[in-house]
Structure 1
Amino acid sequence: MQYVVAVRTLCEFAARQGDLDLRFTPAPSAQEGIAGHQLVTGRRGPHYERELSLRGEFMHLTVRGRADGYDSARNVLEEIKTHRGDLARQPANHRHLHWAQAKVYGWLLCEARGLSELTLRLVYFDIATQQETAISEAHSAPQLRLFFETLCGRFLAWAAQELAHREARDAALAVLAFPHPQFRSGQRELSEAVYKIAANGRCLLAQAPTGIGKTVGTLFPLLKACPAQKIDKVFYLAAKTPGRRLALDALALIGASAPAMPLRVLELTARDKACEHPDKACHGDSCPLASGFYDRLPGARADSLAAPVMDRAAVREVALRHGVCPYYLAQELARWSDVVVGDYNYYFDGSAMLYAMTLAQEWKVGVLVDEAHNMVERARRMYSAELRQDDFRAVRRKAPAALKRPFDKLQRAWNAVHSVQLKPYEARDALPDAFVTALQQASAAVSDHLAETPAQPDASLQQFYFGALQFTRLAEAFGSHSLFDVTLEPAGAARRQDDATLCIRNVVPAPFLKARFGAAQSAALFSATLSPRDYYRDMLGLPENCAWIDVASPFEPQQLAVQVVRTISTRYPHRQRSAAPIVRLIAQRYADAPGNYLAFFSSFDYLQLVSSLLREQHPLLPVWEQERRMDEGARTAFLERFAPGGRGVGFAVLGGSFGEGIDLRGDRLVGAFIATLGLPQVNEVNEQMKARMGQAFGAGYDYTYLYPGIQKVVQAAGRVIRTREDRGVVYLIDDRFAQPAVRDLLPSWWSVAG
């Protein structure tokens, strides 16, 4: 069996050496890189061949790739690299890697064309100056063949190991048994649906209630499908840390049920949590874990993959033992892992690492998206950008002289955007071309300046640069899926004139996400709240043939008493007078059935209004509140108040940290009071989004307000019943819960009174 490897992967594995060096070197964008390659090759003569597809073999290794260009008249093979700034500052190990790629392509060309010798040329093209720097070397075919075979020899043992691992993995997965004696109610139905879409190459929306074991019920069938469908990787993506922990626990359970199965599981951790030296820069002169990183990487890589589970703690332990950076070790391990557990952004963000690897390596991947009701808001944030003029003023004041002219021009263009605006907020039909042009020019100037600036750049200037890049990228893709709006900040003591915040605000993420779903062999999105399905399919860009399953709840209606309190309105004008009847309701229920309860409100102000009155009128009733910006320790302390056999009422904001993703089984939680429909605030931004939703889908109010709001209500109510032994009560406090349009969105197994 042949092992197929790309030229770039071969060279990065076998030829990379020296330090990890991430000193700021503004790289051309992908579009600039493509344009640069086209400009360089367009300057060549009629005998120039572009994008040569080459491949060769060494024992059971097949190496393939595309060389940039070959001049047959001069017998010159070119490897083209775009850059910005002084080429003399390029790290030596980067140049070494570029030569390695050129030499591998050189041998593949010599072998394919029967050449006895060849001139190799590295062509560095400066995007800013449009100038080429060429470095040439002449090589004989035997020299290139020796280099190629040396690299392949280094990789060959690894390739043999990987082939053996894949064969053993697939053999074990083919006979993998379900890790429990039997499926839970609804779990088999979910598992069968995931297996079928993996076999058919489709997507799935699965509404599956809490308590059926969704994590195991999705991972197990997708792993079972891997051998027959030749799936290379499984990506399990979650919105929050608890979701990733559940996935790792489920994979540990599956692994324990088949101890001979060689399944490599990796957890990806955010850079700010994985960094061991946050006070140091990412290069060998500053951080000891960057110094000699690539020299020590082979040992760390092999050591890591010897363990079946590479979670955050395991990766860190190996990394520190070998003296390498844990964060960048994990990125390397993603290439060789079978299951990768991480946040949504690793696959769905505009610069997502796993998505880029999938395309570059031509992997067949299966994607699982946990708690997928979070995807709409998360994806909107991924494809939105905001620039604050007061932040730019601060950067402009400290900017070096070289940036004065482009920054002055940008300031004038910024002022022109809002000079005629009379209202504090205004949505525009189109982007201001003059501003976008000025921003692009300022970004290029900052890029050139930073490329020429040694050591660590100014943090605020770099932050502005990254924000400007995001804004200009989204400006290039601007369309009906997004809004452009301008918000005025009135003049004050710190400045004499108004400033404006400019925002490209994504409304419908579908156009950005569609390609990511298309790149996967299959994708299953699951949650307890994915109704109505058309809303999620429309918003997330799922294909027309996306399958749908609504798994029946394992719970009985008598387990949960749901009561609509239609005598109270929680609308904003009525909140002051709603506090007293809500306090009476909570106190009466607590007196009748003491225990642990959660009370959810639409805002911290509303929460404080009711909790203060409850404390005043019932001082002996234990009460604790969610606070703004609680850290992890404070959140843990809040949840620890819900002890078995405990008594009291915890106050929380709907849609916040305690509205989903917490598991309070048994009598740790016996009821919930939900004093809001969860509707997003009516403001100018949401009204603009409603108008855009109406134009796109004909359901502006539902898509903007009703569906997101009720989804939060159902998630919060879902905290009460977690197992088939649980019993509890939920009070839906607002007369609007009695409306048919709202009732239709509540879970079908609920028996709602009132």
Structure 2
Amino acid sequence: MKKIMKVSIRELVEFVYKEGSIDLRFQARSSAVNGTRLHQKLQKQYKEGDEKEVFLKGEKAAGGLVYHLEGRCDGIHYDDSEVTVEEIKSTAKKLELIEEGSRVHWAQGECYAYLLAKEKQLSHVGVQLTYIEVESERTKSFKQIYSIGELERIVNETLVAYTPFANVILTNEENKMKSVTDLIFPYPSYRKGQKKLAGAVYKTVSESKSLYANAPTGTGKTISTLFPAIKAMEEGNSRWFYVTAKTITRTVAEEALLLLEKEGLAHRTVTITAKDKICFKEETICQKEYCEFANGYYDRINGALIDILTQETIITRPILESYARKHKVCPFEYSIDLSYLVDGVICDYNYIFDPRVSLKRMSDESKKKTNLLIDEAHNLVGRGREMYSASLKKSAFLQIKKMYPDHDGLRQGITAVNKQLLRLKKEDGADTRAELDDQLVESVVSFIEIAEQCLGETGREWSDEFMQLYFDSISFVRISNLYSEEHRFLIERSSRELEVKLYCIDPSKLIKQVTRPYQSSVFFSATLHPFSYYFQQLGGSEEDYRFLIPSPFEHNQWKVGIHPISTRFRDRERTLPIITRSIEETFNGYKGNYLVFFSSYSYMQEAYDRLNKESLDAVVLIQEPNMREGEREEFLGEFRSDREQPVIGLAVLGGIFSEGIDLKGDRLKGVIVVGVGLPQPSVEQEIIRDYFNGMGMNGYDYAYVYPGLNKVFQSGGRLIRSEEDRGVLKLIDDRYLTPKYQALLLDEWKGYRIVT
């Protein structure tokens, strides 16, 4: 029996016929929206009897396989006895430069024509390619008539060219399904609570629901979510995305996959690394003249995809880089192309949730078969606010106006935006408004259109500042389209500057909007605490599953002490000597490696200067701002269990060392948290407070207490990582003894003693 390969027409022709180079010198970011609008404009002109957006499907044997082909053509025209399939393509190119139409576009039309001819038993079908120029909305068409024999030959040649790739995909799929059936949990037994979590994830994925899980440190969250998501593949051809905020957590996911592979799992995964981190060149300039990996990318990518999918299973960054160099292809675009072909993807939140970065080629059909595993989900609240907010500064527009004084169109566009910003600067209205300023948005839209015309000009170089302003403006307009009652329009004035911001207060509805089309979503973290706050902020609703389990570790593994000293800003100078003495006493009473967390860099630096390093038989390290990856690894590398002289590392609450790091055993014997982690008061935090007060909730808790305590829980969570670990946790702040904070303390920390 011949194997069956299901493929969309667009996917098929792009694989076989796409050629040339990556050139991101300029791609109109508004073109996708414009493209849809222009398509619809042309389709409205169709005469009665013509059809638009027609779904076509059929099958064809070729290359030893049976292909199930499907796709949606833009239109079908019926003129007397003649039937014509139309493909519409919007283009930023001048129509005069398009002489015959692209081969990939012709092939798409020819495949649709073949399916239509087979369905309606036609002997001849026309194919019309219509290009519409985005800027002028002028059109240019090319037309050819084909016999059914010619279409059959073209489709057959296309499928034969696709077959080597199809065979790799089908073989991998067959091996995966066999291995998933036989796959067992990679440990001899489940930890406390682990089996329940795995069961909850399996049920969620199987029923296409959403799950919000608070699974404390030590539950083995990564394997407990990946294993059931992969086992659920038995029930259908689904895939998964493991999304997280930290590089270190991605590594943990890769290690879990290696464990499953040792148990016989055969399925393909890729880890996506940010473009600026993985780029082989000094500067990330995606132009064929500058980058040999962008030059001719599409001529070489098919071979690169077949090679890596044949040879590799867990495609980590080093593996991807070696194949990218071998085939001379851009490593970032290579990883994105692979992400549509593999069974699992490990990546940052951005690729799913951020409207600027999300994977645009993923269709709703594909999302229906994709499960989201959202690790460290507590981070998504803050990241969600950032992703669904945008801002623009008046000075950025004026800078570009000065840089290009000779460009009339650009000058006019900037003047129009500046006029609106000046109006806002002079207005008496409130600086925080519920309504979006439509006049400003319209002027920014016009600026974007002018900027795109400028960027489309040949032979002219544009500055990084200009490109940044263009992207910031695109982002501003994109967020204006998402603007809702959960947003505020902020105006920040100073004598020299005016900044306008579209600020997202509550990202819950937008997070829910993103996850809704996917098969299932599993939000999990060791610190979804308090649970009701995170459940609401992450878009939880009545029909969603909830899962909370206690810590798998014994309470006596922690020696918890609360030292009730004020760390409030007004008291810091007075209490810092007592705090540093408290740190010294804890260390001297229970020797070993320590992490000490502070609410800010300046507070940490003051404590470092004040510590009596002579009385400490230890090496004292301090976290520097903006540490590079190598410097972070060096810092953590100092936490060895075999040191003669222990290390005390001072770090910032909510920073790179307060979550996602695993210092097991004697690598870490103590954690001290100075303060309760409250965010700095700001316009934004006050807006959050007022908004939730208005909703009948405790706005202060939502804006300050809960986000602050989450940082404390994460930092304290570095201490006990396994059943064998024992350690000291000291919380320095008098607020920990107030009823509010007592009620919010983690259960495993409640057996504390008060330090005096």
1:28–1:84 contact (8 Å) kept in structure 2: no
Equivalent in 5, 18, 26 of residue 7 of structure 2: 5
Q: Which residue of 2 aligns with 1:236?
A: 242
TM-score by length of 1: 0.94
Deviates more, 1:588-597 or 1:722-731: 588-597
Root-mean-square deviation (CA, aligned residues, Å) is 2.2
Q: Which residue of 2 aligns with 1:534?
A: 532
1:86–1:452 contact (8 Å) kept in structure 2: no
Q: 1:501 Cα shift? A: 1.0
Q: Which residue of 2 aligns with 1:50?
A: 52
2:346 corresponds to 1:344: no
2:599 corresponds to 1:602: yes
Query: Per the alignment, do residues 613 and 463 of structure 1 end up closer, same or farther by CA in structure 2, a change over 3 Å counting?
Result: same
2:221 corresponds to 1:214: yes
Q: Which residue of 2 aligns with 1:392?
A: 397
Q: Which residue of 2 aligns with 1:429?
A: 434
CA distance in structure 2 between the partners assigned to 1:356 and 1:130 by the alignment: 25
SS at match of 2:747: coil
1:483–1:507 contact (8 Å) kept in structure 2: yes
Query: Per the alignment, do residues 477 and 551 of structure 1 end up closer, same or farther by CA in structure 2, a change over 3 Å counting?
Result: same
Equivalent in 248, 255, 259 of residue 249 of structure 1: 255
CA distance in structure 2 between the partners assigned to 1:144 and 1:153 by the alignment: 14
- Counterpart AA for 2:269: V
Alignment of 1:66-105 (within 5 A): 66-73=72-79, 75-88=83-96, 95-105=102-112
Q: Which residue of 2 aligns with 1:494?
A: none
CA distance in structure 1 between the partners assigned to 2:52 and 2:439 by the alignment: 36
- Counterpart AA for 2:415: D
- Counterpart AA for 1:753: R
Query: Per the alignment, do residues 318 and 414 of structure 1 end up closer, same or farther by CA in structure 2, a change over 3 Å counting?
Result: same
Q: Which residue of 2 aligns with 1:62?
A: 68
2:211–2:522 contact (8 Å) kept in structure 1: yes
Alignment of 1:196-595 (within 5 A): 196-228=203-235, 230-258=236-264, 261-279=265-283, 281-306=285-310, 307-354=312-359, 356-359=361-364, 361=366, 364-399=369-404, 400-420=407-427, 426-454=431-459, 457-491=462-496, 499-566=497-564, 568-595=565-592
- Counterpart AA for 2:652: V
Q: Which residue of 1 aligns with 2:653?
A: 654
CA distance in structure 2 between the partners assigned to 1:323 and 1:617 by the alignment: 56
Query: Per the alignment, do residues 279 and 627 of structure 1 end up closer, same or farther by CA in structure 2, a change over 3 Å counting?
Result: closer
CA distance in structure 1 between the partners assigned to 2:285 and 2:151 by the alignment: 37
1:280–1:286 contact (8 Å) kept in structure 2: no
Deviations 1:351-405 (A, max 9, x none): 4544741526465012111111111111221111111221221112113233111
- Counterpart AA for 1:690: R
CA distance in structure 1 between the partners assigned to 2:603 and 2:428 by the alignment: 34
Q: 1:631 Cα shift? A: 2.0
1:24–1:456 contact (8 Å) kept in structure 2: no
CA distance in structure 2 between the partners assigned to 1:188 and 1:693 by the alignment: 37
Q: Which residue of 2 aligns with 1:178?
A: 185
Query: Per the alignment, do residues 16 and 10 of structure 1 end up closer, same or farther by CA in structure 2, a change over 3 Å counting?
Result: same
CA distance in structure 1 between the partners assigned to 2:752 and 2:129 by the alignment: 72
1:680–1:709 contact (8 Å) kept in structure 2: yes
1:678–1:709 contact (8 Å) kept in structure 2: yes
Equivalent in 174, 190, 197 of residue 197 of structure 2: 190
1:596–1:648 contact (8 Å) kept in structure 2: yes
SS at match of 1:357: coil
1:23–1:456 contact (8 Å) kept in structure 2: no
Q: 1:301 Cα shift? A: 0.9
- Counterpart AA for 2:85: L
- Counterpart AA for 1:685: E
CA distance in structure 2 between the partners assigned to 1:516 and 1:697 by the alignment: 27
2:168–2:306 contact (8 Å) kept in structure 1: no
CA distance in structure 2 between the partners assigned to 1:431 and 1:485 by the alignment: 9
CA distance in structure 2 between the partners assigned to 1:355 and 1:367 by the alignment: 16
CA distance in structure 2 between the partners assigned to 1:141 and 1:309 by the alignment: 44
SS at match of 1:731: strand
Deviations 1:526-555 (A, max 9, x none): 111002222222212234322111222121
TM-score by length of 2: 0.94
Deviates more, 1:551-560 or 1:634-643: 634-643
CA distance in structure 1 between the partners assigned to 2:231 and 2:150 by the alignment: 46
1:106–1:118 contact (8 Å) kept in structure 2: yes
Q: Which residue of 2 aligns with 1:496?
A: none
Query: Per the alignment, do residues 422 and 51 of structure 1 end up closer, same or farther by CA in structure 2, a change over 3 Å counting?
Result: closer
CA distance in structure 2 between the partners assigned to 1:471 and 1:690 by the alignment: 24
Q: 1:99 Cα shift? A: 1.5
1:517–1:542 contact (8 Å) kept in structure 2: no
Q: Which residue of 2 aligns with 1:747?
A: 746
SS at match of 2:748: coil
CA distance in structure 1 between the partners assigned to 2:173 and 2:41 by the alignment: 42
Deviations 1:587-629 (A, max 9, x none): 2222222222222111111112222111478476642211222
Deviations 1:93-126 (A, max 9, x none): x822212211111212222222222322221222
1:615–1:621 contact (8 Å) kept in structure 2: no
Query: Per the alignment, do residues 590 and 718 of structure 1 end up closer, same or farther by CA in structure 2, a change over 3 Å counting?
Result: same
CA distance in structure 1 between the partners assigned to 2:339 and 2:99 by the alignment: 25
2:434–2:485 contact (8 Å) kept in structure 1: no
1:77–1:119 contact (8 Å) kept in structure 2: yes
Q: 1:286 Cα shift? A: 3.3
CA distance in structure 2 between the partners assigned to 1:455 and 1:292 by the alignment: 23
CA distance in structure 2 between the partners assigned to 1:175 and 1:428 by the alignment: 58
SS at match of 2:723: coil
Q: 1:209 Cα shift? A: 1.6
Q: 1:709 Cα shift? A: 0.9
SS at match of 2:22: coil
Deviations 1:209-244 (A, max 9, x none): 21222111111111111111x142111111111011
Q: 1:485 Cα shift? A: 0.6
Q: Which residue of 1 aligns with 2:730?
A: 731
CA distance in structure 2 between the partners assigned to 1:342 and 1:662 by the alignment: 18
Query: Per the alignment, do residues 16 and 560 of structure 1 end up closer, same or farther by CA in structure 2, a change over 3 Å counting?
Result: same
Deviations 1:432-476 (A, max 9, x none): 222111111111111122122346543222221111011011112
1:598–1:650 contact (8 Å) kept in structure 2: yes
SS at match of 1:744: helix
Q: 1:692 Cα shift? A: 1.6
SS at match of 1:43: coil
SS at match of 2:140: strand
CA distance in structure 1 between the partners assigned to 2:237 and 2:460 by the alignment: 44
Deviations 1:271-326 (A, max 9, x none): 11221124474243432222322222222111101211211111111121122222
CA distance in structure 2 between the partners assigned to 1:683 and 1:457 by the alignment: 36
Query: Per the alignment, do residues 280 and 89 of structure 1 end up closer, same or farther by CA in structure 2, a change over 3 Å counting?
Result: farther
1:673–1:730 contact (8 Å) kept in structure 2: yes
Query: Per the alignment, do residues 537 and 522 of structure 1 end up closer, same or farther by CA in structure 2, a change over 3 Å counting?
Result: same
Q: 1:37 Cα shift? A: 1.2
CA distance in structure 2 between the partners assigned to 1:587 and 1:509 by the alignment: 42
CA distance in structure 1 between the partners assigned to 2:752 and 2:95 by the alignment: 70
SS at match of 1:681: coil
2:676 corresponds to 1:677: yes
CA distance in structure 2 between the partners assigned to 1:135 and 1:654 by the alignment: 62
Q: Which residue of 1 aligns with 2:23?
A: 21
Q: 1:84 Cα shift? A: 3.0
